[in-house]
């Protein structure tokens, strides 16, 4: 476990947790102070073990509430998980909030990781001072969120803002959501790595026995490889086209981009801006901003969310197990 610590641990603090397919990132906050933060591997044994790991973290520090962000959808009451495609185990209908409240006797709030990222960037990051913003996270897939009038929209099941599952290539590659040609099948990290791997194979150079990553594509583009630059340019036009449609629908003119694959967006940016200029007569000028809070944005947003909501400490009857 990697841990960074600082300052005392006062009462009234919150633990924010961001569950990823590979790692769990967590932040312990009290007001504006970050008391500690860290990263540990995501258990591969499924949701019960993930819940036990989070409960252990909460028991190790003084917290009054727990916020959990995860890459998937929730039930309408925002208490259980439904679709969580990139984390091991059967998450369909898993009562994560109740399980954690039974284990910790602390109130627990769940949210989608892209909406948590947006909440953090809106409050503390590059979207500070903006009220109407579209957020896009670029990782293994593509996540998204929408803020209107200074508030991140969530809706039943926390499903609002799924930019990555807007159709970008009708009849294209199958997506984990069941559709074909979603934006994340074109611009997600897995898709970028796959297209670069195919490109190298067509040249007869291959990947020399290792799995390629989006970073390999970006490095090649930055070193002047024309094919790599062409790939990112083509993908950037698709991203810009989808973003243009989102902005036209919402009447929003600010976009914040973050996530682990966001460096690829830097290389796509000229093409994205070109696609957005084609819609300028309708959507007006667009401000593209890089996220500021880095890899702990999701955990930070989950912690902030707990302090922004009215919380009820679970009662004795709620904590009983039948």
Cα–Cα distance, 173 to 286 (Å, whole number): 29
Q: Across residues 78-107, what is the average pLDDT?
A: 93
The pLDDT value recorded for residue 315 is 46
The pLDDT value recorded for residue 86 is 75
Cα–Cα distance, 206 to 125 (Å, whole number): 40
Domain boundaries, the chain: 2-115+297-319, 129-291
The pLDDT value recorded for residue 4 is 44
Neighbours of 274 (CB within 10 A): 13
- CATH superfamily, domain 129-291, is ATPase, nucleotide binding domain (3.30.420.40)
Q: Across residues 63-84, what is the average pLDDT?
A: 93
For residue range 277-286, list pLDDT tens digits in order. 999 999 999 9
The pLDDT value recorded for residue 185 is 95
pLDDT at residue 248 greater than cutoff 50: yes
pLDDT at residue 210 greater than cutoff 80: no
For residue range 131-187, list pLDDT tens digits in order. 999 999 998 889 999 999 999 999 888 989 999 999 999 999 999 888 999 999 999
Percent of the chain with pLDDT over 90: 75
* Nearest residue to 296 via CA among 62, 45, 2: 2
DSSP letter string, 180-248: BSBTHHHHSHHHHHHHHHHHHHHHT---TTS---HHHHHHHHHTT-HHHHHHHHHHHHHHHHHHHHHHH
pLDDT at residue 234 greater than cutoff 50: yes
CATH of the domain spanning 2-115+297-319, picked from 1.10.10.10, 3.40.50.12780, 3.40.50.720, 3.30.420.40: 3.30.420.40
The pLDDT value recorded for residue 75 is 95
- Sign (positive/negative) of CA torsion 106, 109, 112, 115? negative
For residue range 53-73, list pLDDT tens digits in order. 999 999 998 899 999 999 989
The pLDDT value recorded for residue 204 is 75
Same fold: 2-115+297-319 with 129-291: yes
What does the block give as tokens for 137? 């996270």
Neighbours of 207 (CB within 10 A): 14
Cα–Cα distance, 25 to 29 (Å, whole number): 13
Cα–Cα–Cα angle for 252, 133, 272, nearest 5°? 75
pLDDT at residue 7 greater than cutoff 60: no
Q: pTM of the entire structure? A: 0.88
- DSSP secondary structure letter of residue 257: E
Q: Across residues 231-237, what is the average pLDDT?
A: 97
Percent of the chain with pLDDT over 70: 91
The pLDDT value recorded for residue 209 is 62
Cα 311 to the chain's mean position, in Å?
24
How would you class 205 by CB atoms within 10 Å of its CB: exposed for 0-12, middle for 13-18, buried for 19 or more? exposed
Cα–Cα distance, 139 to 21 (Å, whole number): 11
């Amino acid at each position: 476990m990697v841990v960074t610590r600082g300052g005392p641990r006062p009462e009234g603090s919150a633990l924010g947790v961001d569950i990823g397919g590979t790692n769990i990132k967590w932040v312990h906050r009290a007001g504006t102070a970050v008391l500690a933060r860290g990263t540990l591997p995501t258990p591969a044994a499924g949701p019960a073990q993930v819940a036990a790991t989070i409960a252990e973290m909460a028991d190790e520090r003084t917290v009054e509430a727990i916020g959990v962000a995860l890459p998937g959808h929730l039930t309408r009451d925002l208490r259980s998980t439904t679709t969580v495609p990139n984390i091991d185990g059967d998450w369909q209908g898993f009562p994560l909030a109740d399980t954690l409240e039974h284990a910790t006797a602390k109130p627990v709030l769940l949210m989608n990781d892209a909406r948590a990222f947006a909440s953090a960037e809106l409050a503390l990051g590059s979207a500070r001072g903006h009220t109407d913003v579209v957020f896009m996270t670029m990782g293994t897939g593509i996540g998204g969120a929408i803020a209107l009038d200074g508030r991140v929209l969530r809706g039943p099941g926390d499903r609002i803002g799924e930019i990555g599952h807007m159709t970008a290539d009708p009849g294209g590659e199958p997506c984990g959501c069941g559709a074909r040609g979603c934006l994340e099948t074109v611009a997600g990290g897995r898709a970028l790595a796959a297209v670069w791997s195919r490109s190298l194979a067509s040249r007869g150079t291959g990947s020399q026995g290792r799995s390629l990553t989006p970073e390999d594509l970006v490095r090649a583009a930055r070193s002047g490889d024309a094919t790599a630059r062409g790939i990112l340019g083509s993908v950037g036009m698709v991203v810009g086209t989808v973003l243009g449609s989102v902005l036209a629908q919402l009447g929003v003119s600010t976009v914040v981009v973050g996530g682990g694959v966001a460096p690829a967006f830097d290389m796509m940016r000229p093409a994205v801006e070109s696609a957005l200029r084609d819609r300028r007569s309708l959507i007006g000028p667009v401000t593209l901003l890089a996220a500021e809070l880095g890899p702990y944005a999701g955990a930070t947003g989950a912690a902030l969310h707990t302090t922004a909501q009215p919380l009820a400490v679970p009662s004795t009857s709620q904590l009983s197990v039948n």
